[in-house]
């Protein structure tokens, strides 16, 4: 399996609305590992690793979720997986 690393910065109405919790809950349905965290500038950062197809499906599920309507901007970067995560968690 060719594991990839996806880093996404979400901007918009993404803090204080359960965005991180929703992303964490959605992650359980996919074979991905990683973290989601609030940033001081009001954005949310997602770093996830897994198969490219799983990550694409996970990213689309976030867009389609109840908090997806708050996303106004999404900046994504793809790199090779670093295999640093064991599960998926919310970082404070």
> What pLDDT does 92 receive?
81
Q: What are the residue ranges spanned by the domains of the chain?
A: 3-71+83-91
Cβ atoms of 92 and 37 closer than 8 Å: yes
Per the annotation, the verdict on 20 as an active-site residue is yes
Q: 3, 20, 52, 83: which is the annotated catalytic residue? A: 20
**pTM for the full predicted model:** 0.95
Cβ atoms of 76 and 52 closer than 8 Å: no
Mean per-residue pLDDT, 18-29: 98
Q: 5, 28, 37, 38: which is the annotated catalytic residue? A: 38
**DSSP, res 70:** G
pLDDT band per the 50, 70, 90 thresholds, residue 2:
confident
Looking at CATH, the fold of the domain delimited by 3-71+83-91 is given as Alpha-Beta Plaits (3.30.70)
pLDDT of 25-52, one tens digit each? Answer: 999 999 999 999 999 999 999 999 999 9
Per the annotation, the verdict on 2 as an active-site residue is no
């Amino acid at each position: 399996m060719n594991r990839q690393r996806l880093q996404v910065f979400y901007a918009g109405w993404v803090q204080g609305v359960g965005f991180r919790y929703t992303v964490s809950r959605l992650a359980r349905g996919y074979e991905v590992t990683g973290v989601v965290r609030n940033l001081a500038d009001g954005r949310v950062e997602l770093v996830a690793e897994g198969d490219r197809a799983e990550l694409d499906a996970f990213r689309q599920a976030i867009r389609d979720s109840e908090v997806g309507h708050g996303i106004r901007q999404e900046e994504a970067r793809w790199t090779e997986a670093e295999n640093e995560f064991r599960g998926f968690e919310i970082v404070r």
